[in-house]
Chains A and B, each alone.
Chain A
């Protein structure tokens, strides 16, 4: 499978990365080189093989359903580019 410039632009939109016409063209070549390289996986017979979900057989740890943390609003917003009273500030989303 290979991608065209139109697909690259659609994927860039999904990934929320702005791309110029020139970027999209360069990326098309690069992505096709990588997709060409991974193509060889199709020759592997995987019938009856489960997809891997975990490298080590283990049961997922569950912690007790209790409050162990909190009251850290100031820490959480400390690195944000724009905040107001412990809220993240973003451009207007809803008219």
Chain B
């Protein structure tokens, strides 16, 4: 039998419904793939093999009776930020040591109700704070993609044509993989790596400033952050409550549409969950975009942006124009202030949300001579450097005397950022096309980024505006850079118009194709 882990969700769904394969078979295929790959890639922090087998068995029973749900028997990976009842849920932090919630997050409950199978919990930056998945207590995730270079090798005449192409002079050019390990992006680095390396059919992720879209772009996968309020935040470990949204990472646009349909819901347990029916996102894939107005924001052409990113953007513009879209230049004048405003709003909310980790109710406790010392020692030992840094910034900007200068100013700027988008949408723009990231994946333990936290933050320069304005955004792979690494484009839509994003992303995918890493692990 061919490798079941290579099937997309839509392909697996058809084969499961057609009884060509069973949920148990595909689940076993993924569990053994995880077994082989995880020591090298570190995508999973907990594998729930027994539960996966039980869930697959139950799926098979339903499939036999023709009662399968929308995701019946589809094996998924779950970011460690989602509360999963009785299962490891630690936001990849030491401070949540041993935490196994007694509840299930709404998003994962929706997936299980539709018949999905849980393979395990995925690695991530600690508390979703990071853009490289290097802040995890469980160590970095490794990107399945590696740089490659083209070598010209002299060919002995007897060994022709093994993968390269033969030139007339008896030499051939061959792509060879570099050994340097790259980051998968973050914070949903485990989700992106697991999807890209065929260690799950699809994964849940969350996005506060780019944490779905940046890792999707770094791994050649599709990631969508829906409109704020589309997916319930209930049961997801909170980072910055006014920015956090759950969404899927998938191998293609259709799979992302299938997953979001199941993840999204109207939830009375989340007061910011918006009361709107969830549309059938998959239905728009393949619909023409003729006449659609696509905005190209000039402020996204930033200083020092690599040539290949600009070239990719131009390619995207050409694809959409060829498909009949009308391309218009637009201006979003407050773009450059989104990232600094984010680094006030997000840490402020985080410092408040993370106050609950006190060594009393759950997780780690380090004893002290009194309760204050216990709190201080627990939090000093439990949080990693990046998390402490953000709690400190948040505490400082909210402290007496600084609140107006920092937090209030940032929230006012945030309204201006939102207004920029409202203005272009009011002018008839349906969707905005931008690069997803300012570069391709970078190396593990990058020295520049380690020395200056702001350098790492700049990874989110194109994605963070979307969170600040609460809009939906999708990252779709659009090509490879000269070193063979995937690059993504981002589409930004009007609130609750995820359908427009799927419809347009499918056009890009149709033109660009899909991208899989060469297996080395």
Residues of A within 8 A of B380 (CB): 17-19
Smallest distance from the beta carbon of A95 to chain B beta carbons, Å? Answer: 11
Number of chain A residues whose Cβ lies closer than 8 Å to a Cβ of chain B: 53
Interfacial residues, chain A to chain B (CB-CB below 8 A): 1, 3, 7-8, 11-19, 27, 30-31, 33-35, 37-42, 44, 46, 49-56, 58, 60-61, 63, 72, 75-82, 88, 90-93
CB pair B372 A31 closer than 8 Å = no
Closest A residue, CB atoms, query B395: A15
| Cα A27 to Cα B337 with chains together (Å) | 24
Q: List 25 A-B contacts (CB under 8 A).
A: A1-B405, A11-B399, A15-B351, A16-B358, A17-B383, A18-B377, A30-B389, A31-B389, A34-B389, A41-B340, A44-B413, A51-B415, A55-B229, A55-B418, A56-B228, A60-B271, A72-B102, A77-B361, A79-B361, A79-B362, A81-B362, A81-B365, A88-B361, A91-B367, A93-B370
**Across-interface contacts of B497 in A (CB, < 8 A):** none
Bound CA span A8–B393, Å: 10
For the complex, give the distance between the alpha carbons of A19 and B381 in Å. Answer: 10
Contacts of A39 in B (CB 8 A): 340
Which of chain B's residues 357-415 have a Cβ closer than 8 Å to chain A?
358-365, 367-377, 379-380, 383, 388-389, 391-393, 395-396, 399, 402, 405-406, 408-415
The answer to whether residues A78 and B102 also contact, given A30-B389, A46-B412, A55-B228 and a CB cut-off of 8 A, is yes
A38 x B242 contact (CB < 8 A): no
Known contacts A15-B379, A51-B415; 12 further A-B pairs (Cβ under 8 A):
A27-B388, A34-B343, A37-B340, A37-B343, A38-B344, A49-B412, A50-B415, A51-B412, A56-B227, A56-B228, A79-B102, A88-B360
Residues of B within 8 A of A (CB): 98-103, 227-229, 242, 268, 271-275, 334, 336-337, 340-341, 343-344, 351, 355, 358-365, 367-377, 379-380, 383, 388-389, 391-393, 395-396, 399, 402, 405-406, 408-416, 418, 452-454, 457, 469-470, 495
B393 contact from A34, A44, A72, Cβ within 8 A: A34
A17 B392 Cβ-Cβ under 8 A: yes
Say yes or no: A40-B337 contact (C-beta < 8 A), given A80-B360, A90-B371.
yes
What separation, in Å, do the CA atoms of A77 and B383 have in the docked complex? 22
Point out the residues of chain B lying under 8 angstroms from A41, CB to CB: 337, 340-341, 344, 409-410, 413
CB atoms of A12 and B102 under 8 A apart: no
From residue B225, how far is it (CB to closest CB) to chain A in Å? 12
Write the nearest CB–CB distance from B135 to chain A, whole angstroms: 14
The answer for the CA separation of A72 and B358 in the assembled complex, in Å, is 21
Say yes or no: A16 contacts B415, CB within 8 Å.
no
Indicate if the CB atoms of B392 and A27 lie closer than 8 Å: yes
* 7 tightest Cβ-Cβ pairs between the two chains A and B: A55-B470, A51-B411, A81-B365, A79-B362, A18-B376, A18-B380, A75-B102
Known A-B contacts A17-B379, A17-B392, A30-B453; A91 and B411 likewise in contact (beta carbons under 8 Å): no
Q: Is the beta-carbon distance between B374 and A91 smaller than 8 angstroms?
A: yes
Q: Are the C-beta atoms of A63 and B376 separated by less than 8 Å?
A: no
Complex interface: chain A residues within 8 A of B358 (CB): 16
* The residue from A52, A80, A81, A92 contacting B412, defined by CB atoms under 8 A apart: A52
Name the residue among A41, A53, A60, A61 with the largest chain B CB count within 10 angstroms.
Answer: A41
Q: Closest CB-CB distance, B242 to chain A, in whole Å?
A: 7
Are the C-beta atoms of B412 and A17 separated by less than 8 Å? no
B383:A91 contact, CB within 8 angstroms: no
Interface of A is mostly: loop
Question: In whole angstroms, what is the CA distance A15 to B505 when docked?
Answer: 43
Find the B residue at minimum CB distance from A3. B396
Beyond A19-B380, A58-B274, is A82–B365 a contact (Cβ under 8 Å)?
Answer: yes
Nearest neighbor of B345 in chain A, beta-carbon distance: A52
Task: Check if B371 sits within 8 Å of A14, measured CB to CB.
Answer: no
A26 to chain B, nearest CB (A): 9
Q: Tell me if A46 and B416 are in contact (CB < 8 A).
A: yes
Q: Are B102 and A40 in contact (CB under 8 A)?
A: no
Given A17-B392, A44-B334, is A49 in contact with B415 using a C-beta cutoff of 8 Å? yes
Write out the residue numbers on chain A whose beta carbons fall within 8 Å of the beta carbon of B412. Answer: 44, 46, 49-52
Contacts of A12 in B (CB 8 A): 392
Residues of chain A lying within 8 A (CB to CB) of residue B406: 38
| B337 close to A16 (CB less than 8 A) | no
CA distance A11 to B389 in the complex (A): 11
Contact: B359 with A81, CB < 8 Å? Answer: yes
Q: Are B396 and A31 in contact (CB under 8 A)?
A: yes
| B229 partner residues in chain A, CB cutoff 8 A | 55-56, 58
Could you tell me the distance in whole angstroms from the C-beta of B400 to the nearest C-beta in chain A?
10
Instruction: Tell me, in angstroms, the Cα distance from A77 to B375 when the chains sit together.
Output: 18
Docked complex Cα distance between A76 and B229 (Å)? 27
Taking a contact as CB atoms under 8 Å apart, the answer to whether A42 and B453 are in contact is: no
Chain B residues within 8 Å of A61, by CB = 268, 271, 273, 275
Q: Which residues of A contact B379 (CB under 8 A)?
A: 15-18
When distances are taken between beta carbons in the complex, the residues of chain A under 8 Å from B341 are 38, 41
Chain A CB within 10 A, most for which of B101, B340, B371, B375: B340
Chain A contacts for B102, CB-based, 8 A:
72, 75-76, 78-79
